[in-house]
Amino acid sequence: MPNTQSQTPYAPPPAGGVHIETVTPANWPEACADFARAYHGRAVRVLSLPTAAAARADTANADVICADLALDDVAAVAAVPLPNIDIRVYGDGEPFTVQRVERPQSVAVEKTVDGRLLMLRIDDTDGVTTLVRPTERQP
């Protein structure tokens, strides 16, 4: 398995003109697929942090699950009562699941005012939030 850690910083989304949309559970598969289509093959950063910290937009102590790996897919995988959500990236040319969110309780997307997806947020029932956002490489 490839090294999923990175020291490459990312630029936070622009402060103005950004809003968060909560997705209803029936639309989770579509929201995950939309995000995956928007960023397929592009470098992403996957973070895990307490939901309370995510609510404050405090990612300073988040665990970096992976960074700078190309996104393969984000998919809602059948489970009862709600699907698990798998985040897959490419490492060494092969896709692999870097994070599985079991027992998700909410999904939200961060968008610009013109509708461009910036981030996918998945909160689980254990009080953990997973964030998926593109990695912005700094010059």
Q: Determine, yes or no, domain membership for 8.
A: no
pTM of the model: 0.84
Q: Determine, yes or no, domain membership for 77.
A: yes
Q: How confident is the model over 74-101, as pLDDT tens digits? A: 999 887 777 899 999 998 889 999 999 9
Q: Provide the b/e sequence for 10-39 (b: ≥16 CB within 10 Å).
A: beebeeeeeeeeebeeeebbebbebbbebb
Q: Determine, yes or no, domain membership for 99.
A: yes
CATH at residue 68: 2.30.29
The number of folded domains in the chain is 1
pLDDT for the residue 120:
97
Q: Tell me the C-alpha distance between 30 and 75, whole Å.
A: 9
Domain that holds residue 52: 18-134
* Residue 67 scores a pLDDT above 80: yes
